[in-house]
Structure 1
Amino acid sequence: MKNIVLVCAAGMSTSLLVSKMKEAAKNSPEKITINATAGSDLAKFADEMQVLLLGPQVSYMKSKYESEFGSKGIPVEVINSVDYGMMHGEKVLERALELIDNSQ
């Protein structure tokens, strides 16, 4: 099972992207869980996530999350702003899976 978490300021702007990613994940032979959350609620997902993707609007938080989760082997990356803005769920999903595979 792959567990992907997206974080933004309030968890709302990533919700549409998560929907697009879930649609793309339906074609995957792997079980994939994708969640969106606000930074303040991230702790609920911390124990299970395998990758943390940040919305471009919270890119300034990357170093904080890297120091918090990088030592646990969890990759942290800011979502490509074009893919985020165009809601390219399939591209963002592919990148998340690549990050998970490269971290194992």
Structure 2
Amino acid sequence: MNIYLVCNAGMSTSILVRRMQEAAANQKLDHVEIEAFSVEILDEKADMADIVLLGPQIRHMLGDVRKLVAGRCPVELIDMKDYGTINGQKVLEKALKLIN
């Protein structure tokens, strides 16, 4: 299962990814891969995504990203509070709920 976090440069989400990976490991979710990268790289990876989560700083690109993904998987915004507090557990829970 591939959870992709997308932001402007792929840097600001890296700490959140680590927290999400820790939460997944604690839950023994070995089948979950979590990765962050810039929105420019998404077109190369969209076919492998089970969900795409956008950082709040690029919320204005939500419609464009949904068009790019073309319904192959859910595309949602990361909650600003969860992003700001780097709540990996909560973002992971949201992603898994949206996938299922």
TM-score by length of structure 2 reads: 0.93
**Equivalent residue, structure 2, for 1:22:** 21
Q: Which runs of 5+ in 1 are unaligned?
A: none
C-alpha RMSD over aligned residues: 1.1
Counterpart of 1:95 in 2: which secondary structure? helix
Partner Cα distance (1:83, 1:4) in 2: 16
Aligned-residue offset at 1:69: 1.4
Aligned length: 99
Q: In 1, are the aligned partners of 2:51 and 2:74 still within 8 Å (CA)?
A: yes
Q: In 2, are the aligned partners of 1:54 and 1:77 still within 8 Å (CA)?
A: yes
Residues 39-80 of structure 1: CA deviation (Å, up to 9, x unaligned): 1111232121110000000000000111221422x1011100
- Give the counterpart letter for 2:64 in structure 1: K
TM-score by length of structure 1 reads: 0.90
Structure 1 moving runs of 4+ over 3 Å: none
Partner Cα distance (1:29, 1:20) in 2: 14
Q: In 2, are the aligned partners of 1:8 and 1:38 still within 8 Å (CA)?
A: yes
1:38 aligns with 2:25: no
Using the aligned pairs only, state the percent identity: 45
Residues 13-60 of structure 1: CA deviation (Å, up to 9, x unaligned): 000000000000002343100000001111232121110000000000
* Mapping 1:1-104, distance limit 5 Å: 2-30=1-29, 31-72=31-72, 74-101=73-100
Counterpart of 2:13 in 1: which secondary structure? helix
Q: In 2, are the aligned partners of 1:70 and 1:76 still within 8 Å (CA)?
A: no
Q: Which runs of 5+ in 2 are unaligned?
A: none
